[in-house]
Amino acid sequence: MTDQVEEVSVQANAELQKISSIEELESWRVRYLGRKSKLISVLRSLGDVPIDERRELGARANQVKASLEELYQAHKGKIELSKHESLERDRIDVTLPGQPYQLGRLHLTTRTIREICDIFAGMGFKVVEGPEVEWEYYNFEALNMPAEHPARDGFATLWVDYEAPGGGRPMLMRTHTSPVQIRTMEKEKPPIRVVAPGRVYRYEATDATHEWMFSQVEGLAVDRNITMADLKGTLFEFARRLFGQDRKCRFRCDYFPFVEPGVEIAIDCFMCGGKGCRLCGNSGWIEILGAGMVHPEVLRGCGIDPDEYSGFAFGMGVERIPILRYGIDDIRLFYGNDLRFLKQF
Ligand code: DAH
């Protein structure tokens, strides 16, 4: 019987170590200290034990019982404490204010491009795109700017260091969206009406009014009997839809190698109504785009007979529009990725 008591003590101790829940602990208590447990039945049957063994066995059994009861209480305390601690740790203060969601939004440039394209789509123009890494041929040559043409100086060009498989075909980052005109005319027969938004690149030191990357929207219409009147009507209507129905438009001569004649289009200043202010540089006019009648050489180069067809083309800077509208004083803000700026639109 003494052996039994010792065995119970060792076993109970070992099992207790593995117990981590109140339920397990309770069944442990029933097993080792309950009325039907070995230990209690030993104590109950002490009367049957020979007198000389009784004292020692009784003392030992009571000692084990006391120690198990003590262990039981201590373990119970430990489990309760850890439960309490995890409750404390996982506590949620439901009175705290919630975290607002950060909503994304379209970039100001994207929104402006969509606005421009929507206006032209409403006039029957289709939206097309071209590559940003472009052959010199499309960016210059096909646009009536052969090598050594002085107009190339106006485009600070980023050349791409790339040896074409055939050799000798220089590549660059397109300096304007005009090459998309050529790509379109090579693929499609007139009537053509397209607008082509996209990024363009210039090899330029940046400052408040210069970025090495910005966006343009190009436009092209080619058909029979297209005249300067179509150009004026279309672009005048565009300017009014974008800047307000009572805008006035001014057309002046300008030079671009790929059009003849070329024009520069301005609207009367929407800030001062043409009186002259800071926004329009006191001139009363704000230039918004370049345009012209597609040069016969350009048409011919794309396999379109200039005696049968004519067209007009235009190109505009995208960032310039919100710059004017919102009085943004630094173009670098557009691609500086400062959310404090971008979130305002
Ligand atoms: N590509 C010209 C530029 O980047 C803008 C331009 C002017 C485009 C006249 C045209 C045009 O299509 O007809 O400065």
pLDDT tens, per residue, the chain with 345 residues: 778 888 888 888 888 889 888 888 888 888 888 888 888 888 888 888 888 888 888 888 888 888 888 988 888 888 888 888 888 888 888 899 988 888 889 999 999 999 999 999 999 999 999 999 999 999 999 999 999 999 998 999 999 988 777 677 899 999 999 999 999 999 999 999 999 999 999 999 999 989 999 999 999 999 999 999 999 999 999 999 999 999 999 999 999 999 999 999 999 998 898 999 988 889 999 999 999 999 999 999 999 999 999 999 999 999 999 999 998 999 999 999 999 999 999
Compute the distance from residue 333 Cα to the ligand 1 centre, in Å: 24
Phi, psi of 79 (to 5 degrees): -65, -45
Query: Quick one: angle between helices 22-33 and 51-89, nearest 10?
Result: 180
Burial of 200 (0-12, 13-18, 19+ CB in 10 A): buried
How many whole angstroms from its chain centre is CA 25? 55
Instruction: Please tell me the distance between residue 266's alpha carbon and the centre of ligand 1 in angstroms.
Output: 14
What is the position in ligand 1's atom list of the atom closest to the CA of 259? Answer: 13
Instruction: Give the separation between CA 211 and CA 235, rounded to whole angstroms.
Output: 26
- The protein residue with its alpha carbon nearest to ligand 1, atom 8, reads 315
Residue 206 tokens read as 């940046």
What's the pLDDT at 129? 98
Beta carbons of 264 and 312 less than 8 angstroms apart: no
Three-class secondary structure of residue 270 per DSSP: coil
Dihedral sign from CA coordinates of 19, 22, 27, 33: positive
**Could you tell which of 140, 176, 177 is best to mutate to test the pocket of ligand 1, judged by most ligand atoms within 8 Å of the CB?**
176
| Helices assigned H by DSSP within 122-224 | 136-139, 179-187
Answer yes or no: are the C-beta atoms of 291 and 315 closer than 8 Å: yes
Q: What is the pLDDT of residue 156?
A: 93
Here the tokens at position 85 are 């601690």
> Residue 251 C-alpha to ligand 1 middle, in angstroms?
15
Q: How far is 190 from 294, CA to CA, in rounded Å?
A: 13
Contacts of 318 (CB under 8 A, 6+ apart): 109, 112, 113, 116, 197, 214, 215, 216, 217
Which protein residues are within 6 Å of ligand 1, measured from CB?
A: 176, 178, 218, 256, 259, 290-292, 313-315
pTM of the predicted model as reported, rounded to 2 decimal places = 0.73
pLDDT, residue 9, reads 87
